[in-house]
Amino acid sequence: MATEIPVKLSDILRAHQRIAKCIHKTPVFTSSTANSITGRKLFFKAENLQKTGSFKARGALNSILSLKETKPSFTGVVTHSSGNHGQAVAWAAGVAGVPCAVVVPEYAPEVKKAAIRGYGAELATCGSQPSNRETVCQKVMAEKGYEFVSPYDHYDVIAGQGTIAVELLEQVPELDAILVPISGGGMSSGIAIAAKAIKPEIKVFLVEPEGKMMEKCLKTGERLWPNPPQYLDTIADGIRLQQAGNNTFPILCQLAEKEVFTQTNEDMKEGMKFVFQRMKLVIEAASGAAVAAAFSQRLRDMDDNLRHIGVILCGGNTDIEKLPWY
């Protein structure tokens, strides 16, 4: 029996009211070339043009503004991030007027680290394993008394990311399906909650890098990933985390489609190149994964009734000195 999902459409609509003045309502782009290649109508939601260059601004701002409502005396926020979430929290903390520290792994692109500093946050580096991040975060929380802003596994973050689907279905009400890149699952679970509440027949498909095992986990309803949590070997630093969150995974088991689109590094590069060359937009490899899924044989083989497909371009923070095809 389906368990009750703790985040409702009403929470997502409240989040939208909370953050709307400070974020962009990102545009939706179309491409006649993409439509003719795929035989479907594709609608690209350009979160690469969001504040801080990714969708993460939504969840970060909703979390911090919610904290201000429920815990007005908090002294600051800390988070860990491979880059996009760190930039988003640093920006959101600036908007909300609270101090911020961000823990980043050593491998994070310099462009992302520089941006985090640029938004006024204090930067702390950690080792390359997920557990290293937690350790440094705990240290900052103990020393400064800061509140933790989760990259994906908190209901305020999920509600904030769900606002993408509220906008997208206002912009393109005829959508039959949405392709969403997944890392920890904050964006995909938020989009699934909102989209299915607004339009119950819509399908939400996850897009992953190789090695994530999401399809097997969704089909069995079990967390089959090895522990401790690890990072995948992928050019998409935004979706490197193998495991989905403890809060996001049960939501995805209930609402996301069991068929998952798995993309190789080469697929992602081709997706990026198409958008750079044909659509004149800068996107990062995680967005390239969603584009590649839209062009994939797997989608071609699916139900012809899935005519109108939303493609989430989740971010555009790519290092232009190190584009992956050079």
Gap between the Cα atoms of 313 and 242, Å rounded: 20
Gap between the Cα atoms of 323 and 2, Å rounded: 43
Give yes or no: 322 in active site. Answer: no
Give yes or no: 56 in active site. Answer: yes
Gap between the Cα atoms of 186 and 200, Å rounded: 20
From 31, 63, 82, 296, active-site residue: 82
Gap between the Cα atoms of 231 and 237, Å rounded: 9
What Cα–Cα distance (Å) separates residue 195 from each residue in 29, 97, 127, 270, 318? Answer: 19, 32, 37, 28, 28
Angle between helices 56-70 and 186-198 (to 10 degrees): 90
**What amino acid occupies position 35?**
N
From 45, 51, 56, 113, active-site residue: 56
**What amino acid occupies position 224?**
L
DSSP-assigned letter for residue 38: H
Element (H, E) at 91: helix 84-96
- How many whole angstroms from its chain centre is CA 237? 12
Backbone angles phi, psi at 190, to 5 degrees: -65, -45
| Assigned token pair, 24 | 């962009």
Active site residues: 56, 82
